[in-house]
Structure 1
Amino acid sequence: MAVAVRRITEFYDWIEDVADDRVEDWLLMATPWPAMAFIITYLLFVWLGPKFMKNREPYNLKSTLLVYNFMLVILSIYMFKEFLITSLLGNYSYRCQTVDYSTSPLAMRMTRVCWWFFFSKVIELLDTVFFILRKKDNQVTFLHVYHHSSMVVNWWLGVKYVAGGQAFFIGMLNSFVHVVMYSYYALSAIGPHMQKYLWWKRYMTQLQLVQFFGFLFHTGYNMTVECGFPTGFNIAVFLYCFSMVVLFSNFYIKSYKQKGKKYKE
């Protein structure tokens, strides 16, 4: 038992030693426990929320959803712009880019937008909260919960150890997709009369799938070359994106292909 405790302590000391000192004092970054507290609270709400709402009327959150979704559109536009401009100014390679751990203005600018991207994933946990409070439990699927909770963990690790480098490509492309996605949610929240303008929902799901295929091929390529970006992170990203391709493909088939076939029949 004592040996196991010592090894765990040594491992914890090691991961602290290799962490990025630049983000040590930033919000939620000193230790993993605050981020884990968010995840645990989130999962508890996913479990207990529907029980709480079982005999209650769904909340009318129209105004809240409008403000929330439009704010996320603005934040996503900001992050996309920062990832794009900083990578261009820094002459980043779109094939494979190592992390700049310096405190130069461009390196810190990239680190800051990576932190904002992580923090946006914490904010987006509210997606699920709003679904449950509105009794839209059919939206709270395994894919939804897995994606929202895992992204907080993934990007806490990303900011803590590899804030920048080729990780910028994931943040940039995902921010663009979220501009489209939260624009759709904001328009949908206006009211039922907007549905006739939201015929492009299917294409939004296709865009999400293309995004994950893009990450898969991008990371897969980076695993075959040497550019200084940690191999362990590349492997983790590749496996995660593979899981998302499988889950999103399954969602797409069930939502559009199978429903369309039943409709024709």
Structure 2
Amino acid sequence: MQSLNPALSTTPPKPSRSLHRFANPGRFLRLSGRVLPPLAVAGGVVTVAGLAWGLFFSPADWQQGDAVRIMYVHVPAAWLASMGYAGLALCALFSIIWRHPLADLAAMEIGPIGAAFTAVCLITGSLWGKPMWGAWWVWDARLTSVLVLFFLYLGHIALVRAFDNQERGFRAAAILALVGAVNLPIIKFSVDWWNTLHQPDTIHLFGQSTMSGSMLHPLLVCALGFTLLFAALVLARLRAAVMERRIRSLLMARVQRAEGLPA
């Protein structure tokens, strides 16, 4: 027999209830309003500290010289380009399967920021590749798959805004996000699957990294700072989108009341 005391009940909460607890616009705005300022400040401070450490105090590479310092921008941007698209795919799952009201808005705001970080990754990669490879661009497997990622971001941004019915745009963009997620493991393992000019990964989660600690530590600080800034930008844009939708709904309701139409 099921216990009548909720504290003693062993029945887990329904997923829909836990997933939708922050869907209320007022609750989300209150929570994000408290989180956003410290998140943005922390992101700015950590990013500046990491870049200063890497650009001015870390040693030059014995082969690449000072050109290696580009990695303190290039590598975090590359990580966040892939992580941002993984966020798009996750939002697509929440939208299609659980119909979470904020999932589509979050995906819409992640898209431009992810595209910007992917562009930074491609530009800094070209700047790094010129002195190393003697060319601004080569059709390397890693570079090509990141370029495809950039076009996937642009396609997602376009699809969200391509339909008069915004819900249709959200559905089409969610499908693209899920299909395009196939490109993420290609980006990750391209240097292992094919013979490429791009150097293999030097940082390993499960194993010893081959990068010197004097370079690895400022790189990790830069990655943390970029990640915090990415999250702060997405949160700020999502807050603006929620407030815009809320204001639009209030204005529409006011117009309907003025014209005597049912709400």
What range is the shorter-chain TM-score in? 0.3 to 0.5
TM-score by length of 2: 0.35
Considering only CA atoms, is the larger Rg found in Structure 1 or Structure 2? Answer: 2
Larger RCO: 1 or 2 (CA < 8 Å, sep 6+): 2
TM-score by length of 1: 0.34
